[in-house]
């Protein structure tokens, strides 16, 4: 039986990945900051699907937290076959309205943690000749808007480059780029959602099903919804300066986790 490790597993897209993978018979390593919520999630998934659900409490904004997950990913006696780097958050406010400490914490979680955990997983997977990594980014990666979008753009570029370097190794790499998803993300960040049209909201469970299908097909970038695929097609044809003006008026509200 294969094992999947999911960061940010207790809510939103991470929780949807956990439900879907457990239903498919995968054992899980559930990673988040809240030990109580992790325990409840592990018990529920074990009881419902009969899988083993391991709990790992870790704060990925700290070196200690990242190192703990690195160590688990490097455990050759209990290998991880699929890594889902989902942990993330958004800051409320435009550039220079957010404290430097908060900006750096975001980069720690969105970039350093993703780099270190992907590298730990990929090294072990390459030695076995199989495995997969899903790095959760955002459609905000394709729009010039603030630190959040910039960090997610890094995730996309990094994942595509790593996928190219690992071609033929048996290790699949994919950046997942959803749009607005009904999760706790915006509430935790103190962001309002009243100005977001209803058609732009995605269901986390459907999104995850589409993402896993894209991974199986070998895609390196997944935009798992026809509406957002069409929207990103328009974005590619729109001048960058105009995109910056539009994103500035709508505010920093992209955020899948």
Give the active site residue among 95, 148, 228, 254. 148
Total domains in the chain come to 1
Specify if 141 maps to a domain.
yes
The enclosing domain of 208 has a CATH number of: 3.40.50.720
For residue 95, indicate whether it is catalytic: no
Specify if 256 maps to a domain.
no
Nearest alpha carbon to residue 139 among 4, 231, 73, 218: 231
The pLDDT mean for the chain works out to: 87
Specify if 257 maps to a domain.
no
Phi-psi category of 86—alpha, beta or left, where left has phi over 0 and alpha has psi -120 to 50? alpha
Q: What is the pLDDT of residues 172-229, one digit of tens each?
A: 999 999 987 765 544 554 445 556 656 566 899 999 999 999 999 999 999 987 777 7
Predicted TM-score (pTM) of the model is: 0.87
* pLDDT at residue 95 greater than cutoff 60: yes
CB-based burial label for 80 (10 Å; 0-12, 13-18, 19+)? buried
CB-based burial label for 100 (10 Å; 0-12, 13-18, 19+)? exposed
- CB within 8 A of 17, min separation 6: which ones? 4, 6, 9, 84, 86, 134, 208
Q: What is the pLDDT of residues 58-88, one digit of tens each?
A: 999 999 999 999 999 999 999 999 999 999 9
Specify if 255 maps to a domain.
no
Range of the domain at 237: 3-250
Which structure tokens are listed for 150? 């910039």
Specify if 79 maps to a domain.
yes
- CB within 8 A of 192, min separation 6: which ones? 186, 253
Specify if 131 maps to a domain.
yes
Specify if 236 maps to a domain.
yes
For position 132, what pLDDT does the model report?
A: 98
- CA 57 vs CA 52, 67, 82: distances in Å: 16, 12, 18
Specify if 168 maps to a domain.
yes
Q: How far apart are CA 210 and CA 225, in angstroms?
A: 8
Q: What is the pLDDT of residues 101-155, one digit of tens each?
A: 999 999 999 999 999 999 999 999 999 999 999 999 999 898 877 899 999 999 9
């Amino acid at each position: 039986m294969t094992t999947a490790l999911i960061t940010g597993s207790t809510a939103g897209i991470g929780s949807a990945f956990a439900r879907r993978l457990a239903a498919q018979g995968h054992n899980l390593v559930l990673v988040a900051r809240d030990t109580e919520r992790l325990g409840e999630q592990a018990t529920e998934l074990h009881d419902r699907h009969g899988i083993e659900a391991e709990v790992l409490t870790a704060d990925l904004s700290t070196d200690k937290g990242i190192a703990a997950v690195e160590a688990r990913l490097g455990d050759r006696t209990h290998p991880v076959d699929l890594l889902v780097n989902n942990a993330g958050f958004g800051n409320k406010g435009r550039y220079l309205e957010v404290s430097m400490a908060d900006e750096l914490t975001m980069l720690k979680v969105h970039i350093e943690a993703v780099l270190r955990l992907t590298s730990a997983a990929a090294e072990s997977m390459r030695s076995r000749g199989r495995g997969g990594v899903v790095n959760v980014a955002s459609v905000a990666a394709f729009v010039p808007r603030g630190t959040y979008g910039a960090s997610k753009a890094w995730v996309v570029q990094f994942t595509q480059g790593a996928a190219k370097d690992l071609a033929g190794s048996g290790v699949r790499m994919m950046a997942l780029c959803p749009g607005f998803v009904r999760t706790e993300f915006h509430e935790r960040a103190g962001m309002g959602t009243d100005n977001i049209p209803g058609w732009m909201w995605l269901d986390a469970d459907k999104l995850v099903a589409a993402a896993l299908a894209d991974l199986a097909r070998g895609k390196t970038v997944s935009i798992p919804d026809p509406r957002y695929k069409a929207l990103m097609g328009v974005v590619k044809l729109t001048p960058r300066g105009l995109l910056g003006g539009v994103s500035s008026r709508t505010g920093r509200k992209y955020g899948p986790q």
